[in-house]
């Protein structure tokens, strides 16, 4: 039986892929048999003549995982838009049963799964109303919430936590991504710690030179080694 964590965000573009890449890097560096899993990915790139998910390609660039990126991303679409729209534009349908099957296959190949969501929590995966939170709940993952450090993040973070609880998800920790030393950022972190009820709060500073779209990792691996304790991350994971 594998352990796992599902990386969710308060919004799109908050740093879920960066966090996923950094966590997988730490796990592999510490000799854990870990895999990345992104059920639905919007946005493609080309690596060595092969089209694949931009997010999976970036995570592979950082963590150097050996699994074929196509195996860990069951649904990949060219258009970088919401999953249901990306699928519609491609003339396809996102089938939750296909995702479940691929997930079950991956569980037999590793000890830990780091899964990453698409966009925010309340995102439709198809035109039939199957939501991202439905998928997370079915897969059985606890969640790690990624939030911005700047203005507005208190509201976005607390609303996401409340919504996650209302749909039956468990959020085990929060990562404040791109945290700086300004008064607003530091007060946001302190306030979220005080109001969220979540004990596991991690802060990740802005990473120089990182660009997920251009597959540029900057010094992401070094920053993770310096700021995130692997034992603290392992404590958040549950059997899936």
Which residues are known to be catalytic? 38
Determine the Cα–Cα distance for residues 121 and 43; give it in Å rounded to an integer. Answer: 18
Query: CA–CA distance from 48 to each of 60, 61, 63, 108, 214 (Å)?
Result: 13, 13, 18, 28, 14
SS3 (DSSP) at 45: strand
17: nearest Cα among 2, 38, 40, 32: 38
Written as six digits, the tokens of 59 are 């995570």
Q: Distance between CA 88 and CA 90 in Å, rounded?
A: 5
- Site of tokens 């990453």: 116
Six token digits for residue 9:
């965000």
d(CA 161, CA 171): 7
HSE-up (13 A, CA, CB side) for residue 113: 30
């Amino acid at each position: 039986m594998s352990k796992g964590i599902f990386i969710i965000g308060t919004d799109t573009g908050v740093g879920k892929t960066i966090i996923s890449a950094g966590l997988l890097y730490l796990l592999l560096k510490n000799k854990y048999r870990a895999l990345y899993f992104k059920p639905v990915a919007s946005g493609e790139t080309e690596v060595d003549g092969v089209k694949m998910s931009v997010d999976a390609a970036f995570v592979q660039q950082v963590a150097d995982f050996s699994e074929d990126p196509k195996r860990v991303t069951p649904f990949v679409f060219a258009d970088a838009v919401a999953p249901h729209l990306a699928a519609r534009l491609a003339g396809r349908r996102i089938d939750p049963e296909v995702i479940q099957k691929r997930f079950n296959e991956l569980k037999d190949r590793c000890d830990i799964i780091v899964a990453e969501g698409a966009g925010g929590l309340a995102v439709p995966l198809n035109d039939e109303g199957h939501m991202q939170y439905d998928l997370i709940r079915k897969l059985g993952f606890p969640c790690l919430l990624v939030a911005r450090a700047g203005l507005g993040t208190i509201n976005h973070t607390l609303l996401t936590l409340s919504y996650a609880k209302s749909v039956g998800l468990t959020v085990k920790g929060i990562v404040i991504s791109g945290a700086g030393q300004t008064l607003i950022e530091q007060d946001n972190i302190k306030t979220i710690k005080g109001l969220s009820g979540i004990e596991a709060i991690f802060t990740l500073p802005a990473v120089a030179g990182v660009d997920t779209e251009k597959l540029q990792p900057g010094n992401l691996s070094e920053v993770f080694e310096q700021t995130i304790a692997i034992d603290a991350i392992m404590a958040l994971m549950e059997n899936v």
